[in-house]
Every structure is written in C-alpha cells, then in structure tokens.
Structure 1
Amino acid sequence: MNRIGLIALLGITLHLPLFGQTLTPEQLQADFTRFRTALAEVHPEMYRYTPKATFDSLFTATEARLNRPMSQQEFYVTMVPLLVALRDGHIKWIVAGRDEHYPFATDKLFPLKLYFLGQKAWVVGNYGADTVPAGAEIRSINGQSIAAIIEKLLPMMTFADGNRIGGKYEDLNQNFSGFYATFIGAPDAFTVVYKTGDEEKTVIVSPVAEVTIKDYVAKKKPVAQKPFRLSFANPQTAVMTIERFWSDKTDPDFKAFLKESFRAIKQNGVQKLVLDLRSNEGGEESWGIRLASYLTDKPFRYYDHISVRQKKKYSFPVWTSTLYKKFRWLAIRKRGDGYVFTLQRGLRQQKPNRDAYRGKVYVLINGASFSVTTELAAHLHANRKQRAGEVVFVGQETGGGYNLDVSGLFAITQLPNSKIDLGIGMFGFNMANSTESPHADRGVIPDQLIEPTITDILNGYDRTLDYVLRISQPEKSALSRTDTK
C-alpha cells in the first residue's frame, strides 16, 4: 500500500486532538500498554531486523521513562525509537488531527527548503519573506552544524525498511521543517550560517507556518502528467514511467495502458526499455505482479509466502478491513511457529504475457521507490539471470527492503489518552527467489549509483535518465523524446 492511501485510512479514527495538556504517568502507562499490545498482536515481522531480546530491553527502558507527567509531544518523541526498531517504513505514528509530518509547533517552522546529500545540505527554495540564495550550502542552524542535525534526525525517522537510509533522505528533502520542529525545536527565530563560493555569511530568518509551506509546495508542483506513460527516445529505445501503482477516476486504466504499451513496444522492435520507477511509493500489489508478467519469458512465483501475526481476534480496540475480519478463518493457515495468509494472486505461479518484452531493461530507482515498487524491483533483480535480456539497475538504493514488505491491509488503533494513531501493516510479503540479495537488511542496490547534485536539482537536470539514454545511444549526448501516451 502507498503512504497516501494509509494516511487516508488513518483519518477515520480521528477524534478531537489533545494539545497543550499534560498526560499523567498513569495515562502514559495505559497508552504504552496499548502500543505494545498492538505491535505484539498485529505486526507480522516484528523481530525480522531487531531481535526480541533487544526489543524487550527497549520496551523496559521506555516504560521506565514514563514515570513523570509528559506533554503529548514528549510522549510522541519518547516512543519513536520503538517504531524505528521495527525497521518498517510503512508504520504510522500520527497525532490525531495533524499532518503526519507537522504534528507540533505548526507556526514556528524552519523557512528554507533544503536538499540533503551525505552530511551536507543546500538551499533550493525559500518558504517565507526572508531569503537565502538558492544553491547556498547551509553550514549550521542555531549553532548546530548541519552534519550534527542530520545525525540527530536520521535515527528518529521511520521511512525505511531494514537499515536503509535513502528513504529517510527523501523525507528530509520534503519535510525537514517538520522534523526539525518535532525533534529539535521550534524557536522564534533561526540563526543560519551559509556559504556561497568562498564566502560564509550569517543571517537570522523568521519561522513560517505549515500553511505557508504547503502553499509554496502547491505552487511549485510540476504540471500534472499522466501517472503512467510511454515515450520513445529513439526507434529502438522506449521509456516507460510509472509514478504510482494506483489510480483515481481521472487516470487511464492501468491494465489497458500495459496492453497497449507493450504491444507498441513489440511492433516497434524496441531493443532497450527504460523503466522509470523513481519516487513511486507503491500502491496495489496486483499491479506490480501484472507488470512483472510483461517483463519475463518464463513462468514465475512472485511471493514465497505472506506472514500474519495471528488468526484470532485482536484484544484491543482496532479498525481494520471488515472483509478481512469476516474471512480470516478461511484465509489464514498455520505454518511452522506462525501463520500465513493464503488468498493472494502472487502466491500462485504466474505466466508471461504473450506480448512480454524480452530485451534489455534499465530500471531507474531511488530512495522513494518503496513498497510495491521495491517488490517489483526485487523480483526483476532476483530473476534477471533467468531472463533472456539483461536487466540493469540505475540510480539510488530503494527505500523498501529486498526480501520483505510489511503492508497490505492495516490495523489502526488510537491510543486513548495521547490521541495518537498507530497504523500497523498486517501482511508480511516475503518475496520468492530472494536469495540474490547479498544483504538481508538492504533494498535493491543499483548496478550504477547516480546521485543528483545540487546543480542538477536547481537546473532541473535529470542526470540518471540522461546517463541511461547516453549509454543506450552512445553517439548522442542528449535525445529528444516524443510522448505517445
């Protein structure tokens, strides 16, 4: 499931938010118990990346800290390390009535849009009236070096499966102001030291409100394009862009799009296909499986098994799919020491589509290639030795894990006193033929690593796509592309 869809689901549990009130130790302990119970009864792969003994120690240490009155924000922050320990990028921890990235101090936010790479950050825009030049390197904020700020924020961010950090950097690029306010502070002013060329300057900038940031983002949003589209860079090279694996009523039919596109690819004798999956956060599992059937020449299995935590009814107040609750007795089976969900197309052997493409494929990925998108990328990577045409991955490591994606249906509970919504994925999608991954805790690692520079970002230059088009057509450094969809 994509993150946007889950946030919409969380909206159904909203109550009046709790702001400016203090929670007693008794209230904190009650919410902690609900939190721990929910994870234990719902999360299908709780100990995949963090051993149970380590988790138990974390729970004990966290519970001991809840011995004094706390604000809602203090409790929120105190519990985050437990969520991070799951190494599950789908987990949701959202203050009722608030945007997930701006839960607190929504009128005292950092006023600059930044781009992060490694231990550095650069200005790419100004949200407020105060201005810092685009391209300036930020050296420090309120006396803390940017490297120290990054090192403080990354361990508090959850958008990553396993020990990935690429998704976290994507989150920083989009929502740094919210993370700073939540985990570092929301001051009345920000003292910013920045560098342009060889000159270092210090300025004091005023904070902005959440609404100002969202207005800026809306105005800067690129002109809308169809979320899935095909173009031809040249007679032998096609570029297929899939921005998401879900659609709304205004979008083209995905099934029809694939049918028409691969028929056109076949008719045109395409020898190289560029599959652009960058910043695709996922969606419908069946869409990834359908696309996989167009990129293989042999029957395949997509999922090895789908783990679930338990078959019985949950012991705490929870919202989840009515259909799931009705049919879980038929769909869930005992397997070893656990349980598996059995009613999923991807568990059965799949056949190649008759118009399947068998030539060379370049798959473009980055840290925001997540969920269903990482599943597809992992499948293509794991099976590429059995495929006639070569499959090459270009860009940055995926945000999702190579072997596992915890998502599908969600169980959502609201902690009774702090009014924080906890959303937990109920299904552990374990990929078939995943032995090709050399790292159990990583994503799909590209064959050619390409990271956009600040100059690329400011100039709107797509270094990754240009690289692929150049190596697929060496005699030209830049190729024109004509959309056909």
Structure 2
Amino acid sequence: MRPFLSVLVFSALSACAAQKVEEHPFLKTPQIPAEALAEGERPLSPEELREDFAALYAGLKSGHFDLFVNRSEEAYDALFADMEAGLDQPLHPSEALFIFQRFAAFGDIAHARVEGVYDVWGRYRAAGGRALPVFPAIRDGRIFVSESYAPRVMQGEEIVAINGAASSDWLERLSQTVSCDNPYICGTLLERTFSVEFWAEAGAPDEVVLTLRGLDGRLRDENVRLLTSEELAAAELTSAGEVFTLGFGDRDAKMLEGGAAYLRPGPFFSYETPENPWQTEGFKAFIDESFETFQREGAAALILDIRQNPGGTNSFSDPIIQWFADEPFRFYSSFEVRSSPEAEASNEARLALAGESDNEVSRRYAESFAETPYGETFTFDLPFVRPLRGKRFEGEVYVLVDRYSYSNAVTVAAIIQDYGFGLIVGEETSDLASTYGAMETFTLPNSGLVVGFPKARIVRPSGDPAPVGVIPDIAIEIPPFATEDVALEKLLGIIAGRE
C-alpha cells in the first residue's frame, strides 16, 4: 500500500493550489493552459464537483467487485471526507480528473481508474507544454536513466534525487496517481508515464535539478531543462544510445533461423478500427494465414511474442491458442462477477455497439445481470474452447513475456503455462495472473469523466489465487539498457541447442 506523503510545493504553483496541497496531497492539479482544455470544456462549480465525487465513490462501491480488499472502508470513507471538504474551488473536468484518479487509485487495483489522463497530457503537449527529457528505468525502487535527451545526463546513470528530494520519495508520490496492485507494476507503469505524473505532481518548471550517480559511482547535480514536443523531437534526432523497444501496434509473422516461426500478434483488440475495437474478423484472418504459412514452411517451433503487450480480450487470443492446444481450455478456474447497475448498463452499451455482430459473451452477461440482484455475485460459466481439428500446429511452443506484458497478455501466458501447451520465457510479468478484472465503465454526471472498474474476480486456470504475475519456466534477465533484442536471441539459442 502507498502511504500518504507530504508533497513539495513549487513556487510556480498558485497560492490556491498550494493551499490545496497543504489540506490534502490528493487535491493537487496540474497547470493546464486554456488551449489544452477540451473543446467546449467549462469549469465546474464546487457543488458540481462534489456531486461528481460522490457519484465516483458510489459507483465504485456499487460496481467494483471488492473495493475494500486492500483498503478498509473506514480508510476510504476518511479519504472521501477529507477530499470532499477540499473541493471548494471551481475546476475544469481536465483538472478534476487528476483528483478523482488519485481517489480511484487509492484502492491499489490496476483495473480501477478514471480514464482520460493521457488525453489531457496529449493536449497539453500539443499546446506547447514542457516535459522532462529523461525517461526512467525503475528497478527495485531505484530510478535509472533509460533514455536521455538532456546534455550531460547519460544512459545507465542513477537518479538519486530530484530537486533535492530523494527518488524514493518521488516514486511514492507519483504512484499516487497510478492505479496499480503492487510496487512492481507501479514501477513498470511509471516508466511509461513518468513525465505525466511528474507534471501532475510538480507542474512544469523551466528546469529541474537531478542528483545523479554517474557510471563511475560519483554523485553530481545537473540542471535539466524541460522541453516542448518539438524540442524533444529535435533532440531525439541528434542523440545516441536509444534502448531496444518493440512497437505497441506491431503485428508480425515470419520465419526465423533454425525453422522457428515468430508470431507477434500485437494488442488483443482492433486498434485499427477505433469505432469498434472488439471486432475480430481481420485479426482472425491474420492469425489463420500466419499459422498456415508456418505449416507450409515446415516450422519446428513457434515463438509467440507477447512482450510489451497492453492486453485486450480473449476473443482475440483464444484463436491463437486453438492452433496449438491439445485439449479444451479456458482462461480461468474461477470467474465470479458482481451484479450492479453500473456493470449492467456498461454491458448494454457494448451490446448496442455490436449491433448485429456476434457478441455471445455480452448477451450471456445481460441474462446473468437480469437474474442476479444488485450487490450479489454470480458464477460466470464460459464454455471451454476446443482446439482446431485437423490442422493443429505440432511444433514446440515458446511464449516471450516481460514486465510490460499486461492484462490479457498475462492471461494468455497463464493459460499456456497451466495447461502445459508451451513454455514461458523471459521476465516475470508485473501484472497479475489471478486478478480483479473484466472491466466496465460508468460516466460521472457533470464532468462526463469515464470511470473504469473491475466487475469480476478471476483466478488463473491452475486455481492458484496468489496475487503474483506469471513466473517464466525459462527466466531470461533483460538488461534495462539493451540496444538489441537480448531475449529473442537467447531463446533462439535455446531452441537451436546453443544455450
């Protein structure tokens, strides 16, 4: 759990904001210029803010499978009272968002959050907002420089302090805006969003002072100027030392050395069709064509790469597993769902979006919600998925995972490990294999902010409820500053018998 900490008040913040910080650290809002607000966005009165805040808490209590599993109801009530009392000034929804998100994140569940933080950040950056030009690698509570576009700040150096405050203090403060289950997943999420959370906490000073432990072990201070998007892009063109990374949207299928087939399916949703991200037709066609090609090419092994994968739904991942499964499977041993008006309404909206297309799961949810009184739970029983007949991939299966494999990507790894369909290779996932998930959403009445919550408790196929990630069968240490694909190269060596 993340303790409350007093926060550093920068002179650039207004007196009003400073007063809010003194009242409660969760009431801090970033400095958002008018041009970074959404079109037509108006400030909400304190009365409207409190109405939305009450709706946020009521909706989480109603819809969340177990809001108080990590924080007691008494602790949440006390936090609500403190924060509600501090909502005494008008705020735009883009500002209130950060306050409400900290409240949702207080429960230490990754799938409970207020959506939209990164939309606000995107508008801020597009309007000329400045950000840190240093990107971190967070390991065991320490911050290292993964990528740097600041003069004299080198990749691999440790950030010991920022503006005189210890990095460990900054990690605790910044994590208060991040929905996460434990410090491990908090660290992995913060690596991608550090600049956003720093802005939410500290505003946008012209520069910060980083205390660095150099590669020679010596400490020194460096003044680092924050950069606009244009300045950062220019700095990237002239810098060296970028780390190896995989693309978010990569969907790739190819043959590699030694007869190994490589499949990187990409996200388990259709980001290509944002108007309906859950339509699977194009994705299934890609998967079927990939496996048919692998078989024609005589692939002896399959590498399924789900590293740096944000997840999605099993309607996308099950068709992959069907190609090599040797028995019927499903993604859980226990799947309990809490019935609530919020979850029922969210499911109804998904059905309306689907129209005439196949959405059997949502229809079954609708039946169960109708039969189950609000506040009670029901067992959601999905049929086992059967392997494909007559064209099963017979080679060895290896699944590459890392700390950035999230949500349904973790579920895929757990299925394959628990059923013995293949071997898991790489790092332990930071996201959990048994989790609170199956997210739904509701909307706050005045701000229009969208709140996501987990309606279900899902236990991995093995029946192990422990709140841990998928632990690889073959562990490969992945250096945070690698410039090439270390894990894939090591796995190819294992397959070829070189390692």
TM-score normalised per structure 2 = 0.73
CA distance in structure 1 between the partners assigned to 2:386 and 2:146 by the alignment: 46
| Alignment match of 2:82 (pick from 64, 84, 89) | 64
Matches within 5 A, 1:385-464: 387=421, 391-404=422-435, 406-407=437-438, 410-414=440-444, 416=446, 419=447, 421-425=449-453, 427-428=455-456, 430-431=458-459, 433-435=461-463, 437=464, 440-456=466-482, 460-464=483-487
> Could you give the per-residue CA deviations for residues 156-182 of structure 1, whole angstroms, max 9, x where no partner exists?
421x4x43x444333222221111121
- Secondary structure of residue in 2 paired with 1:279: coil
> Could you give the per-residue CA deviations for residues 28-62 of structure 1, whole angstroms, max 9, x where no partner exists?
53232111111123224435x436xx134322333
Residue 262 (structure 1) shift: 2.5
Residue 464 (structure 1) shift: 1.5
CA distance in structure 2 between the partners assigned to 1:316 and 1:28 by the alignment: 23
Matches within 5 A, 1:66-85: 66-68=84-86, 69=88, 72=91, 76-77=98-99, 80-85=102-107
Matches within 5 A, 1:262-281: 262-281=291-310
The aligned counterpart of 1:193 is 211
1:421 counterpart letter in structure 2: L
Q: 1:356 to 1:154 in 2, by over 3 A?
A: farther
CA distance in structure 1 between the partners assigned to 2:168 and 2:352 by the alignment: 48
- The answer to whether the 8 A contact 1:333-1:340 is kept is no
CA distance in structure 2 between the partners assigned to 1:58 and 1:393 by the alignment: 38
Residue 87 (structure 1) shift: 0.9
CA distance in structure 1 between the partners assigned to 2:317 and 2:328 by the alignment: 15
Matches within 5 A, 1:214-293: 227-247=250-270, 248=272, 253-293=282-322
- Secondary structure of residue in 2 paired with 1:275: strand
CA distance in structure 1 between the partners assigned to 2:344 and 2:316 by the alignment: 34
Q: 1:426 to 1:467 in 2, by over 3 A?
A: same
2:441 counterpart letter in structure 1: A
The aligned counterpart of 1:157 is 178
2:452 counterpart letter in structure 1: I
Matches within 5 A, 1:103-252: 107-127=129-149, 130=151, 132-158=153-179, 160=180, 162-163=181-182, 165-194=183-212, 195-209=214-228, 227-247=250-270, 248=272
- Secondary structure of residue in 1 paired with 2:438: strand
| Alignment match of 2:409 (pick from 344, 365, 373) | 373
> Could you give the per-residue CA deviations for residues 379-428 of structure 1, whole angstroms, max 9, x where no partner exists?
112212xx5xxx322222324321235235x3231362xx3723224653
The aligned counterpart of 2:34 is none
| Alignment match of 1:338 (pick from 376, 382, 405) | 376
The aligned counterpart of 1:350 is 385
Q: 1:232 to 1:226 in 2, by over 3 A?
A: farther
Structure 1 unaligned residues grouped into runs of 5+: 1-13, 478-485
- The answer to whether the 8 A contact 1:273-1:359 is kept is yes
- The answer to whether the 8 A contact 1:285-1:372 is kept is yes
CA distance in structure 1 between the partners assigned to 2:349 and 2:186 by the alignment: 27
Residue 155 (structure 1) shift: 4.8
Residue 137 (structure 1) shift: 3.0
- The answer to whether the 8 A contact 2:414-2:460 is kept is no
> Could you give the per-residue CA deviations for residues 192-232 of structure 1, whole angstroms, max 9, x where no partner exists?
22224244432222222466558878999989798332233
> Could you give the per-residue CA deviations for residues 229-254 of structure 1, whole angstroms, max 9, x where no partner exists?
22333344222212212332699932
**For this pair of structures, how many residues does the alignment match?**
438
The aligned counterpart of 1:91 is 113
CA distance in structure 1 between the partners assigned to 2:368 and 2:353 by the alignment: 9
Moved more, 219-228 or 397-406: 219-228
CA distance in structure 2 between the partners assigned to 1:101 and 1:429 by the alignment: 35
Q: 1:357 to 1:166 in 2, by over 3 A?
A: farther
- Secondary structure of residue in 2 paired with 1:332: helix
1:473 counterpart letter in structure 2: A
1:401 counterpart letter in structure 2: L
1:150 counterpart letter in structure 2: L
- Secondary structure of residue in 1 paired with 2:388: coil
Moved more, 349-358 or 266-275: 266-275
CA distance in structure 1 between the partners assigned to 2:307 and 2:346 by the alignment: 37
RMSD: 4.3
- The answer to whether the 8 A contact 1:282-1:371 is kept is yes
Q: 1:45 to 1:382 in 2, by over 3 A?
A: farther
- The answer to whether the 8 A contact 1:193-1:203 is kept is yes
Residue 277 (structure 1) shift: 0.3
CA distance in structure 1 between the partners assigned to 2:346 and 2:489 by the alignment: 51
- The answer to whether the 8 A contact 2:330-2:415 is kept is no
Identity %: 20
Q: 1:448 to 1:218 in 2, by over 3 A?
A: farther
CA distance in structure 1 between the partners assigned to 2:188 and 2:153 by the alignment: 22
The aligned counterpart of 1:382 is 418
- The answer to whether the 8 A contact 1:46-1:86 is kept is no
CA distance in structure 2 between the partners assigned to 1:447 and 1:110 by the alignment: 38
- The answer to whether the 8 A contact 2:304-2:397 is kept is yes
Moved more, 234-243 or 33-42: 234-243
Residue 296 (structure 1) shift: 1.0
Which protein is richer in strand relative to its size? 1
CA distance in structure 2 between the partners assigned to 1:96 and 1:380 by the alignment: 33
- Secondary structure of residue in 2 paired with 1:280: coil
Residue 131 (structure 1) shift: 5.2
Q: 1:242 to 1:348 in 2, by over 3 A?
A: same
The aligned counterpart of 1:295 is 324
Residue 348 (structure 1) shift: 1.0
The aligned counterpart of 1:4 is none
Structure 2 unaligned residues grouped into runs of 5+: 1-37, 275-279, 356-362
